Structure 1
Amino acid sequence: MSRSQSNFKQQHEFEKRKTESKRIKEKYPGRFPVIVEKADRSDVSNTDKKKYLVPGEITFGQFVHFISKSINMSGEKAIFMFVDNALPPTGILMSQLYEDAKDEDGFLYFVYGAENTFGCQNMQCIVPPTRCLRLPNCTYNMIVF
């Protein structure tokens, strides 16, 4: 699941991106500017927004859950989000992931796609209900900008 270059990077000059990320980090300490884009060949929906301001204390897994809810993923699909063509561990804090993988412009870039994995169709489980897991509803203190 790759993208040769981010659409966001193509649409905005480097210096403008760098200035914007610096301004955001100064205005919102403890939060990190993130760009989320769909993989080129993925058939999953686009997110409502591409730019997110993410609290550093949530985990990557919580962020993935937030994004999957924002694109109305069907029950049988799982979302996969990559940074630099790698799948980060779900338990890593977003603050650590940001420090490890941020771009030189100051943004952290994710590419996402989905795959059929859970064996459910049209919200009807074709495996025993105890094996068709749903994540609990959560709310996150994230700012979309």
Structure 2
Amino acid sequence: MAKFVNTDKKLVKASYLASYRIAKEGKPHTIGETLLLPVAKNMVEAVLGEKAAKEIEKIPLSNDTVKRRIVKMSLSIEEQLLLQLCESNYFALQVDESIDITNMVQLLVFISFDYQNKKCSKGRIFILQTSSIKH
């Protein structure tokens, strides 16, 4: 039983690591299942053999799984930022409005604050996009 749980944790961790990279690169969620998993399996099979490649196949990287992992990670980051902000004595907000090439108005809000005696922690709170500007 302990080996099963340990293996399962490793597969979930691998799924989160792949989902993180997919999100960071801005790639479609389907790339995990259609490209990353087959490539990883081929490389592992070539280097470590078929038994190890069978384990790689078990990593959950479906479109929905990747989406859930990304949402869960982003909520965790947001929660951590808010907790750090609540523990801070001082903070500063920066608001920036811009218009992109499609005339879409974007409002960006950044925050800087002290946390655990560090000079400054920074985080983007949100980006608000509004409808196009009509001329």
Higher relative helix content: 2
Scaled by the length of structure 2, the TM-score of the pair is 0.27
Q: Which has the larger radius of gyration?
A: 2
Scaled by the length of structure 1, the TM-score of the pair is 0.26
**Relative contact order, higher structure (CA 8 A, sep 6+):** 1
